[in-house]
Amino acid sequence: MGPYPFHPGTDMKILLINPNTSAGMTAGIAAAARAVAGPGTQIVATQPSFGPASIESHFDEAIAAAGVAEQVRLNGADADAVVVACFGDPGLDAAREATHAPVIGIAEAAFQAASLLATGFSVVTTMTRTCVMAERLLQRYGMAGACRGVHGTDVPVLALEHCDEATLTQLETAARHALDRDRSGAIVLGCAGMAPLCDTLTERLGVPVVDGVAVAVKWAEGLVSLGLRTSKRGDYAVPPAKAMVGWAQGLQW
């Protein structure tokens, strides 16, 4: 899709990128996205051709960011919008450089949505070691003042592929603790793999539970319907053409 002026049609295609390489998780995230997408929206779910099965460290995230860039470069040419479906928003800026389409990261979308629903929210995520990564994103997005706490559960990301009642209860217990301790009014789910659990947790907790995948899809639809595109003025301009070597050779401009 080209730059401005852009005149959207009634149908649209959203490229949904799961930055890890778990096919099962990609399928689960895609199902959650399709459940909220409008009737004219096609969700095309993909994942990198390389990289970690789950993203639970800075090292994992660095490799996954390259995988996101790969998928936008290879599969994003005809996408009306792109959703990066990992709570670390890996490769978000690179993806925005690589396409004219709007690119939504699920963490940024979830933080913003939660801030509209409550004066303060808490994040319930997977591994405790990744809490600092979420805190850095909150600072980057200017949302640190709205978030009253980030809580790790030490539930491995891949355990969410086939979430049993014990795991669901563990997440619910952590969310209840967060609401009480932080005096929060909403919960943000800190992993794309939690998307299928959003409705159940909302019912059990009785507060807004925000799944970034769903929010990102609806925001992507909204931006496309308004004819809004990623600016190509300044640092989101198309990257300068240059040769690449090794596995990245096919991605050069």
Condensed to tens digits (0 to 9), the pLDDT of residues 90-121 reads: 999 999 999 999 999 999 999 999 999 999 99
Q: Yes or no: is domain 107-211 CATH 3.40.50.1220?
A: no
Q: What's the rounded Cα separation, in Å, for the pair 242 and 44?
A: 29
Strand, coil or helix: 154: coil
pLDDT in tens, 133-159: 999 999 999 999 999 999 999 999 999
What is the pTM assigned to this prediction?
Answer: 0.94
222-232 confidence digits (pLDDT tens): 999 999 999 99
Confidence label for 6 from pLDDT (cuts 50, 70 and 90): low
Q: What pLDDT, in 10s, does the model give residues 37-91?
A: 999 999 999 999 999 999 999 999 999 999 999 999 999 999 999 999 999 999 9
Distance CA 41, CA 44 (A): 10
Whole-number percent of the chain with pLDDT over 70:
96
What pLDDT score was predicted for residue 250?
86
What is the CATH code of the structural domain delimited by 12-106+214-251?
A: 3.40.50.12500
Q: Which pLDDT does position 64 carry in this prediction? A: 98
Cα–Cα distance measured from residue 205 to residue 104, given in angstroms and rounded to the nearest whole number = 27
Domain ranges for the chain, please list them.
12-106+214-251, 107-211
13 in helix, strand or coil?
A: strand
Please give the radius of gyration of the chain, using alpha carbons only, rounded to the nearest integer: 18
> DSSP secondary-structure letter at 101?
S
**pLDDT value of residue 69:** 97
The answer to whether the 12-106+214-251 and 107-211 domains have the same CATH topology is yes
pLDDT of residue 168: 95
* Cβ proximity of 44 and 82 under 8 Å: no
Q: How far apart are CA 128 and CA 187, in angstroms?
A: 17
Instruction: Please tell me the distance from the alpha carbon of residue 249 to that of residue 253, in angstroms, as a whole number.
Output: 10
Q: How do residues 117-136 score in pLDDT, each as one tens digit?
A: 999 999 999 999 999 999 99
Residue 5 scores a pLDDT above 90: no
Task: Please tell me the predicted confidence (pLDDT) of residue 8.
Answer: 65
Residue 4 pLDDT grade (very low, low, confident, very high; cuts 50, 70, 90): low
Percent of the chain at pLDDT > 90 equals: 92
In this structure, the number of other CB atoms found within 10 A of the CB of residue 2 comes to 7
